[in-house]
Chains A and B, each alone.
Chain A
Amino acid sequence: MADILRERERQVYRKGQANALPLDCEKQSAAGSVSQRACVFCGSRVVLYPIADAVHIVHGPIGCASYTWDIRGALSSGPELHRLSFSTDMQELDVVHGGEKKLYAALCELIDAHHPKAAFVYATCIVGVIGDDVAAVCKRVSLEKGIPVLPVHSEGFKGTKKDGYRAACDALLQIVGTGPTEEVSPLSINILGDFNLAGETWMIRDYYARMGVQVVSCITGDGRIDEIRRAHGAALNVVQCSGSMTYLAKTMQETYGIPFIRVSYFGIEDMSKSLYDVARHFKDKEMLKRTQSMVRTELERVMPQLTEYRKALTGKRAAIYVGGAFKAFSLVSALRHLGMTTVMVGSQTGNKEDYEQLREICDEGTIIVDDSNPLELSSFLEEKDVDVFIGGVKERPIAYKLGIGFCDHNHERKEALAGFEGMLNFAREVYGSVMSPVWQLTPRKRGSSLEVVK
């Protein structure tokens, strides 16, 4: 059993345990707990990152730009400005005298060199402390260069990653509503909260095209500034990564009267339900028929192979630790579809309702955890004798060190895991990790004896 810090005792729950919910969550990480979370800047950076025809410039010392250079597997069908790393690289004198002049000069030279459709300026920790007026510099450059130059108030210490999501949405809201909407169909949507990791947005867009739904913009996967400017013309916002995008959707509802629904593209049940929910929203019988036939076609294509994987994976135990809880719901059901049991599930940023919903869908004894850390996670993996751990890069070495399989379901993945095809990729990846012969050599499976095994 893990030594759980006193401050964190109410952030860990085992299903079946009495009086332990609601889980204590949505609070600042305990100092010294080695949280897996990042900061406000990270929240803003991940959300805006995939916008490919904008210049993204990090205002601050070099680290924040170095650590986020080409970090996400967010693909673009055209320009790739998002894959470059730009920083004002503040030096000691800039800290003393202020960084506004440097920011101004950096923005001008980068806009002149790359001709972007917009520029995002991320304010990092010390910018907030030394009092640079980032908004004023942005405004000036915007007037001079004739493109939106958007300040993102993402000082790392000003809250949690969720506050960074909000700062990103605030920047986006400055451009939504500034483009023409004449050619937007009444059967149209914005895809919110898909980031085109490994081309997932393209798969999802294809489904909507086959249903007869026009996609006005994707925020932000394969994102383009002109599309986002037109986003207010769409009839519906379809929100996937609800943690980051619900605020944007709610504000667009208030400002432009656009309703929104929450969806998930992971796992075949959730994928199908998402498409049906969109079709039902439009109350268009033909669209519903097209959706039904498309879902049938896709299922017929993937089911035989999924059944094969299920045979091999039935009874295996999985653990999940992801950023947003919404993805965890889909993963629990996707794993169940493969015959696997989720014995531990946690997230960095879930809220009370999220954890209650997780409790409902999980089996007795499942550990549910908020804002966990390596020591807790490793002890849960050992205790539950997990076969595969699903998380991000920072969770990977915890699993591997213990000789446990791992599947990356985070920003850096190179495999498309959304959609019907994605479920097949997910199954293949889980299978490929769980079934590898290497585990048989690990101390966890056979101890550290060098005896020859027959």
Chain B
Amino acid sequence: MSSQPRTTPHAPRPNWVSTRNPCKACAPLGAALVMRGIAGAVPFLHGSQGCATYMRRYLISHFREPMDIATSGFSEANTIFGGGANLHLGLQNVTSQYHPSLIGIATTCLTETIGEDMHGLLHEYREKTAGTPSPTLVHVSTPSYSGTHVDGFHDAVRSVVQQLAEADASPSAYVDSFVNIFPGMVSAEDLRFLKEVAKDFAMPITLFPDYSETLDGPSMEKYEKIPAGGTTIAALRATPSAKASIELGRTLRTKSTAASFLQDKFQVPAKRIGLPIGVHESDIFFAAMEKLTGHKTPEKYRQERGRLVDAYVDGHKYLFGKRAIVFGDEDMVVGLTSFLAEIGVFPVLCASGGKSGALARSIAEVTTHVREKVAVRDGVDFMTMAEEAELKELKPDFVIGNSKGAKLARELGVPLIRVGFPIHDRIGGQRILHFGYRGAQQLFDLVVNVLLEVKQDSNSIGYSYL
């Protein structure tokens, strides 16, 4: 956070103007990820060739799966005269190569700056291709100079829902027997978990986006042009008919989201709760499920909760008073902080590159029982976190967040517990379960064991029992 001047005993520190080792990516990346979560869809970026390629590489290194993102591939002439022709050619080429049911178009900083009229260009394209089998087109405005990849993600979710819902909002489609779930930018395993819970509650859901299969699929004999899975277009068109929407993410309160749109326009009640990480936040999630379905939480989850609390007791001594720096996407930070606070770990710094304006309030909500004041920094980068750790002598025992914090952890000489996105230096980021009692169980075992490993390895004794 650069608005507060900081000083060292020796020399005044500048308020940094530059971003140094960013804790965020740009908005179109989040949008491309959302588009990959629609069945039969191809993500498409209207901008320079490099944007698509860099984002593919960034996502591939996390998911370790094919991630095709098409692009209009801007040239200098397009920048002067407009990229309409390239956009049209690109859409045509994607259609003839991939035969998609939907193309999800996101803009970039370039096309936003030159002021491309996406409504107009897509309208022209639809007119031009009328009468021929053409994919559904949806688009989202994602100027990279505004917000982060997480904002691009949520804006894409809202834009897709809005455009498809408005296209087909006939009252006859009224169903009232299902619920929309907007999970936020979470792992493929978290998405599978949400589907499993809904099934166990016998509650039909529209989960959007759903890249649990498209970005974590099986080995194939033949290459799939578009990987199977994803939220169907029909389901997206029907979102206004749901009896409620659940959106995950406490910091979404400052945003216009898919759920808030459906509430305002179609009177679909919206329930916003935190990412269900740890006992407290999972309890809130399961309570919401009970209320919506009228069913009690199935025994399976009660058992999981029981085992988790039992494990908390078994491990509490290893954790009490330990200190952690938590960083990453804002809602992930809130969820992790809630979890750490309930197991007795003090979050010495909760930091994010995102700047929704709601991080501090959200952290306060989940740390009411923490005695000391928790430091919260939004809109920060990793070098600022490192400086703060040094200046304020935070002395963390570990840091927890995505793999971009590896350098921070190394400098602090403490372990990094990898969660969230992206995980570029380990395998299996898409299979980390953060959600529910089961997810908390896995995180808890991981945290305790990492600390026990430090304890075991940091002395010459090498205890056999810990």
A-side interface residues toward B, CB under 8 Å? 3, 5, 7, 28-42, 57, 60-70, 84-92, 94-95, 102, 105-106, 109-110, 112-113, 124-126, 128-130, 156-160, 373-375, 378-379, 381-382, 393-394, 396-398, 400-403, 442-444, 447-448
The docked-state distance in angstroms from the alpha carbon of A396 to that of B60 is 9
The docked-state distance in angstroms from the alpha carbon of A40 to that of B110 is 14
A37 B49 Cβ-Cβ under 8 A: yes
The yes or no answer to B53 lying at the interface (CB within 8 A) is yes
* Interface residue stretch chosen among B63-71, B293-301, B305-313, B367-375: B63-71
* Interface residue stretch chosen among B33-41, B88-96, B182-190, B356-364: B88-96
The docked-state distance in angstroms from the alpha carbon of A382 to that of B113 is 42
A443 B113 Cβ-Cβ under 8 A: no
B114 proximity list for chain A (CB < 8 A): 129
The docked-state distance in angstroms from the alpha carbon of A397 to that of B75 is 28
| A-B pairs under 8 A by CB, number | 241
B65 proximity list for chain A (CB < 8 A): 397, 401
A35 B49 Cβ-Cβ under 8 A: yes
- Which residue of A3, A61, A382, A398 has the most chain B CB atoms within 10 A of its CB atom? A61
The 3 A-B pairs of least Cβ separation, nearest first, read: A39-B50, A63-B26, A32-B93
The docked-state distance in angstroms from the alpha carbon of A341 to that of B178 is 56
A448 proximity list for chain B (CB < 8 A): 221
The docked-state distance in angstroms from the alpha carbon of A4 to that of B48 is 22
- Which B-chain residue is minimally distant from A40 (CB atoms)? B50
A393 B57 Cβ-Cβ under 8 A: yes
- Which B-chain residue is minimally distant from A128 (CB atoms)? B79
The yes or no answer to B54 lying at the interface (CB within 8 A) is yes
B54 A109 Cβ-Cβ under 8 A: no
The yes or no answer to B143 lying at the interface (CB within 8 A) is yes
- Which residue of B68, B72, B96, B217 has the most chain A CB atoms within 10 A of its CB atom? B68
- Which A-chain residue is minimally distant from B87 (CB atoms)? A31
B72 A31 Cβ-Cβ under 8 A: yes
A86 B19 Cβ-Cβ under 8 A: yes
A35 B96 Cβ-Cβ under 8 A: no
A31 B219 Cβ-Cβ under 8 A: no
A443 B22 Cβ-Cβ under 8 A: no
B390 to chain A, nearest CB (A): 14
The yes or no answer to B56 lying at the interface (CB within 8 A) is yes
B57 A92 Cβ-Cβ under 8 A: no
The yes or no answer to B434 lying at the interface (CB within 8 A) is no
A398 to chain B, nearest CB (A): 6
* Interface residue stretch chosen among B10-18, B324-332, B339-347, B436-444: B10-18
B27 to chain A, nearest CB (A): 8
- Choice from A32, A60, A84, A375 contacting B20 with Cβ under 8 Å: A84
The yes or no answer to B109 lying at the interface (CB within 8 A) is yes
The yes or no answer to B223 lying at the interface (CB within 8 A) is yes
A119 to chain B, nearest CB (A): 11
The docked-state distance in angstroms from the alpha carbon of A95 to that of B143 is 11
Q: A33-B93, A34-B69, A106-B18 are in contact. Are A157 and B78 (CB under 8 A)?
A: yes
A85 to chain B, nearest CB (A): 5
A443 proximity list for chain B (CB < 8 A): 218-221
- Which A-chain residue is minimally distant from B94 (CB atoms)? A32
Given A34-B69, A64-B50, A394-B56, 7 new contacts (CB under 8 A): A30-B73, A32-B91, A57-B18, A62-B25, A67-B54, A85-B22, A90-B145
A-B residue pairs in contact (CB < 8 Å), sample of 24 = A31-B71, A32-B97, A34-B69, A35-B71, A39-B50, A61-B26, A62-B25, A63-B51, A63-B109, A66-B22, A95-B113, A113-B14, A126-B113, A130-B113, A156-B110, A157-B76, A157-B78, A157-B79, A375-B223, A375-B225, A381-B223, A382-B223, A397-B65, A444-B221
B67 A397 Cβ-Cβ under 8 A: yes
The docked-state distance in angstroms from the alpha carbon of A95 to that of B108 is 13
- Which B-chain residue is minimally distant from A164 (CB atoms)? B50
The docked-state distance in angstroms from the alpha carbon of A113 to that of B53 is 32
- Choice from B86, B96, B148 contacting A31 with Cβ under 8 Å: B86
A84 proximity list for chain B (CB < 8 A): 20-21, 383
The docked-state distance in angstroms from the alpha carbon of A3 to that of B99 is 11
- Which residue of B48, B50, B98, B108 has the most chain A CB atoms within 10 A of its CB atom? B50
B93 A109 Cβ-Cβ under 8 A: no
B25 A125 Cβ-Cβ under 8 A: no
- Choice from B16, B73, B383 contacting A35 with Cβ under 8 Å: B73
B219 A66 Cβ-Cβ under 8 A: no
A66 B67 Cβ-Cβ under 8 A: no
- Which residue of B78, B92, B97, B108 has the most chain A CB atoms within 10 A of its CB atom? B97
A113 proximity list for chain B (CB < 8 A): 14
B66 A86 Cβ-Cβ under 8 A: no
The docked-state distance in angstroms from the alpha carbon of A39 to that of B29 is 16
B145 A402 Cβ-Cβ under 8 A: no
- Choice from A39, A382, A402, A442 contacting B48 with Cβ under 8 Å: A39
The yes or no answer to B420 lying at the interface (CB within 8 A) is no
The docked-state distance in angstroms from the alpha carbon of A67 to that of B57 is 8
The docked-state distance in angstroms from the alpha carbon of A69 to that of B404 is 9
Bitwise interface map of B from 111 to 126 toward A, beta carbon under 8 Å scored 1, else 0:
0011000000000000
B335 to chain A, nearest CB (A): 23
A69 B219 Cβ-Cβ under 8 A: no
The docked-state distance in angstroms from the alpha carbon of A39 to that of B89 is 19
The yes or no answer to B222 lying at the interface (CB within 8 A) is yes
The yes or no answer to B58 lying at the interface (CB within 8 A) is yes
The yes or no answer to B158 lying at the interface (CB within 8 A) is no
A41 proximity list for chain B (CB < 8 A): 50
B113 A3 Cβ-Cβ under 8 A: no
B61 A91 Cβ-Cβ under 8 A: no
- Choice from A32, A105, A398 contacting B17 with Cβ under 8 Å: A105
Q: A28-B75, A30-B93, A65-B22 are in contact. Are A401 and B110 (CB under 8 A)?
A: no
A67 proximity list for chain B (CB < 8 A): 25, 54-55, 57-58
B145 A61 Cβ-Cβ under 8 A: yes
B26 A156 Cβ-Cβ under 8 A: no
A294 to chain B, nearest CB (A): 37
- Which B-chain residue is minimally distant from A444 (CB atoms)? B221
- Which residue of B54, B58, B94, B108 has the most chain A CB atoms within 10 A of its CB atom? B54
- Choice from B93, B110, B143, B220 contacting A129 with Cβ under 8 Å: B110
A124 proximity list for chain B (CB < 8 A): 109
The docked-state distance in angstroms from the alpha carbon of A57 to that of B16 is 14
- Which A-chain residue is minimally distant from B406 (CB atoms)? A70
A38 B54 Cβ-Cβ under 8 A: yes
A69 B93 Cβ-Cβ under 8 A: no
A229 to chain B, nearest CB (A): 26
A40 proximity list for chain B (CB < 8 A): 48, 50
Q: A106-B18, A442-B219 are in contact. Are A91 and B94 (CB under 8 A)?
A: no
Q: A61-B26, A62-B24, A126-B113 are in contact. Are A38 and B19 (CB under 8 A)?
A: no
A92 proximity list for chain B (CB < 8 A): 143, 145-146
A5 B96 Cβ-Cβ under 8 A: yes
The docked-state distance in angstroms from the alpha carbon of A124 to that of B26 is 14
Q: A64-B54, A86-B20, A130-B113 are in contact. Are A402 and B220 (CB under 8 A)?
A: yes
A311 to chain B, nearest CB (A): 29
The docked-state distance in angstroms from the alpha carbon of A106 to that of B52 is 27
The docked-state distance in angstroms from the alpha carbon of A375 to that of B97 is 8
A109 B16 Cβ-Cβ under 8 A: yes
The docked-state distance in angstroms from the alpha carbon of A442 to that of B219 is 6
A66 B25 Cβ-Cβ under 8 A: yes
B70 A32 Cβ-Cβ under 8 A: yes
B47 A125 Cβ-Cβ under 8 A: yes
